[in-house]
Amino acid sequence: MPSSARLHQAALPAAEAIVVTPLSLYIGAQVDGVDLSRPLPSAQREAIRAALLRWKVLFFHDQHLDHAQQVAFGRQFGEPTVGHPVFGHVEGHPEIYSVGRDRFKARFTDERLVRPWSGWHTDVSAALNPPAAAILRGVDIPPYGGDTQWTDLVAAYNGLSPTLRAFVDGLRGEHRFTPPEGAEARPGFSEPLAVRPLVSEHPLVRVHPETGEKALFVSPTFLKRIVGLSPRESEQLLELLFEHAIRPEYTVRFKWRPGSLAFWDNRVTAHQPPSDIHATDLPRQLYRITLVGDIPVGPDGRPSRTIAGEPVLAHPAA
């Protein structure tokens, strides 16, 4: 058993013990021994919070929650936002965002991914205060295909040479909520965006508000340019950083089951939704909530700034 799992078990009374099993060297752990459908004992809640900070994405199985239970689970760790600041929410459930297989078909004329990193993103990173965390629940899951990957942006930052780390420490980037490169937007995408634009300038290196760790805050789908560089310099440096940030050793890949739940720290990770499911008619339906985040701060103490749009705030409790 990994030492971290023993640590969590030792710290809790036997009836409340949870088992945390790491899935890679840097990122991802499976959590067993909890029932997420009910309020968590405080010791379990704190153990989950600690495991989230350490492993950055936690996976749970056999948790068949409904919408209200998913929101109630999230509320124990923060304030749920509205489902999605641009695309809204599931009817009757203001905090729930539907992640269905065909949602991109409705938004883009061509959803093919033109570059290996073009689907990787940090959720809503174009907002001034991107969500601190997200909780994704699997309901209809294909028997194969449809895996999701996450990458550890702290490990990615630490994996850069000291010289490049010192250079990117002082840079800032412009995040824009726009269609992926090569995918033209359908009206269902561009119209809501015209009403609710999202453009922000964030530090390229973000200091985690709880752990103090530095993360390479690149969100390849939304980070469009580096401020102060020429277009070609920006394009080439971003290409280097994007390619680096998704190196296999920084990532974990999750195979969903109905009743699986992924809970990630959105401040120091990016993730890649599956593109293979578009090649089949297999159903895939998940539901996401996000928790309100703070405004990122760089190593120099400078916070992010809004270029267009509103912060993503809490949805008031029903």
Active site residues per annotation: 121, 123, 271, 288
Counting residues that bind Fe ion (by CB under 5 A) gives: 1
Least spacing, CB of residue 273 vs Fe ion, in Å:
6
Of the candidate spans 88-96, 123-131, 171-179, 292-300, the one that interacts with Fe ion by CB under 5 A turns out to be 123-131
Of the candidate spans 110-118, 119-127, 182-190, 231-239, the one that interacts with Fe ion by CB under 5 A turns out to be 119-127
Sequence-distant (6+) residues with CB within 8 A of 196 are 85, 86, 309, 310
Of the candidate spans 68-76, 116-124, 147-155, 160-168, the one that interacts with Fe ion by CB under 5 A turns out to be 116-124
Residue 123 in contact with Fe ion, rule: CB under 5 A:
yes
Query: Residue holding tokens 């401020």?
Result: 227
**Other Cβ atoms closer than 10 A to 309:** 19
Least spacing, CB of residue 99 vs Fe ion, in Å:
8
Nearer to Fe ion, 121 or 206 (CB): 121
Helix (H) or strand (E) holding 318: none
Distance from chain centroid for Cα 10? 30
Cβ proximity of 56 and 4 under 8 Å: no
What does the block give as tokens for 304? 């992010």
Least spacing, CB of residue 202 vs Fe ion, in Å:
17
Closest residue to Fe ion, based on beta-carbon distance: 123
Least spacing, CB of residue 271 vs Fe ion, in Å:
6
Nearer to Fe ion, 123 or 265 (CB): 123
Sequence-distant (6+) residues with CB within 8 A of 141 are 256, 257, 258, 260, 284, 286
For the chain, counts of helices (H) and of strands (E) = 7, 16
**Other Cβ atoms closer than 10 A to 214:** 21
Nearer to Fe ion, 95 or 123 (CB): 123
Nearer to Fe ion, 134 or 168 (CB): 134
Site of interaction with Fe ion (CB under 5 A):
123
